C-alpha cells in the first residue's frame, strides 16, 4: 500500500504573518509536520504544497518533496482540498492513501501517526480524523434565545462526566483518507469515518499570535 503525506503550507497568512516559516520550538513551524510524517515508516513520501520560495527551501532541507502551488489556489479563500487535488495531479504515481497534516497543529502525541494508520488500515475505513475531548458546556443561539446543549439543572462536575456526555472537537491535526474516495467526493472526510483521540492538550491550533505563544509554552511543558 502506497501511503504519502501532504502538508499544505502557503506563504500568506494574515493572523500570524509568515507563521509557516517562523521558528517554533527551535524549528520552522512547517518542519514539525514534516518530522512527524517522517516518524512513520509506513509513509513513503512527504510532500509540502506551497507557493513560497523560502518554505520550499525549508521543506527540502528537512527532507520533504516540494509541490509548487499555483497562485490561483494559494489565496486566503483557497481551500485545502484544492491544494490536495493539485498535489495528487503532480505526483508521478497516485497513492492509495493520503495523510493530511496541517502545520498549524505542530504538537501531536508521540507514536500517534502509526496508531492512526494502523486503525485506518485494519478497520478498512474510507477516512479518519483526530478528535479531542472538550469539557465545555455548549449553548446554541437562535433568534435572541440561548438554548443549552446540556442539562443545566444537573450540571455535572468535570470529573463526574459520563463518557456519553463528553463532546469531541475536530482538532485539525491529522486526517487520513483513501485517495480514490477523495477524488470522487473532493472532501477529506466521507464514507466510513474512523477516528483517533488526542488528549485535550493537543486540541489547539495556531490562528493568532496568542495561539503561537501559548502553544510554544505548552510544547515546552509537554516535552
- CA dihedral for 38, 44, 50, 55, sign (positive or negative): positive
pLDDT at 157: 75
Report the DSSP pairing between strands 27-28 and 23-24. antiparallel
pLDDT at 223: 66
State the cell numbers at 208.
Answer: 493568532
pLDDT at 211: 94
Q: Residue 63: name the closest of 30, 103, 98, 26 by CA.
A: 30
State the cell numbers at 124.
Answer: 478498512
> Which distant-in-sequence residues (6+ apart) come within 8 Å of 41 by Cβ?
none
Q: Are 192 and 126 in contact (CB under 8 A)?
A: yes
- CA dihedral for 114, 115, 116, 118, sign (positive or negative): positive
DSSP 8-state assignment for residue 20: G
Give φ, ψ of 46 to 5 degrees: -115, 120
State the cell numbers at 177.
Answer: 483518507
3-state secondary structure 111-148: CHHHHHHHHHHHCCCCEEEEEEEECCCCEEEECCEEEE
Cα 200 from Cα 136, distance rounded (Å): 11
Separation in Å, CA 135 to CA 11, 74, 172: 35, 36, 18
State the cell numbers at 91.
Answer: 505526483
Positions of the chain with pLDDT under 70 = 158-160, 223
Residue ranges and CATH numbers for the domains of the chain are 3-133+169-218 (3.90.550.10)
Amino acid at each position: 500500500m502506497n501511503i504519502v503525506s501532504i502538508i499544505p503550507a502557503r506563504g500568506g497568512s494574515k493572523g500570524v504573518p509568515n507563521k509557516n516559516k517562523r521558528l517554533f520550538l527551535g524549528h520552522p513551524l512547517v518542519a514539525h509536520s514534516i518530522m512527524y510524517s517522517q516518524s512513520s515508516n509506513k509513509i513513503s513520501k512527504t510532500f509540502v504544497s506551497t507557493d513560497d520560495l523560502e518554505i520550499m527551501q525549508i521543506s527540502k532541507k528537512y527532507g520533504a518533496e516540494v509541490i509548487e502551488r499555483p497562485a490561483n489556489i494559494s489565496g486566503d479563500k483557497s481551500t485545502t482540498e484544492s491544494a490536495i487535488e493539485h498535489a495528487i495531479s503532480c505526483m508521478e504515481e497516485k497513492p492509495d492513501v493520503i495523510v493530511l497534516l496541517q502545520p498549524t497543529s505542530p504538537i501531536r502525541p508521540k507514536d500517534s501517526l502509526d496508531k492512526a494508520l494502523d486503525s485506518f488500515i485494519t478497520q478498512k475505513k474510507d477516512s479518519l480524523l483526530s478528535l479531542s475531548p472538550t469539557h465545555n458546556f455548549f449553548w446554541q443561539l437562535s433568534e435572541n434565545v440561548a438554548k443549552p446543549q446540556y442539562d443545566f439543572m444537573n450540571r455535572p462536575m468535570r470529573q463526574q462526566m459520563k463518557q456519553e456526555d463528553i463532546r469531541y472537537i475536530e482538532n485539525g491535526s491529522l486526517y487520513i483518507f483513501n485517495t480514490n474516495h477523495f477524488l470522487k467526493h473532493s472532501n477529506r472526510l466521507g464514507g466510513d469515518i474512523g477516528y483517533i483521540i488526542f488528549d485535550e492538550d493537543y486540541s489547539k491550533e495556531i490562528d493568532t499570535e496568542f495561539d503561537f505563544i501559548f502553544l510554544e509554552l505548552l510544547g515546552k511543558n509537554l516535552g
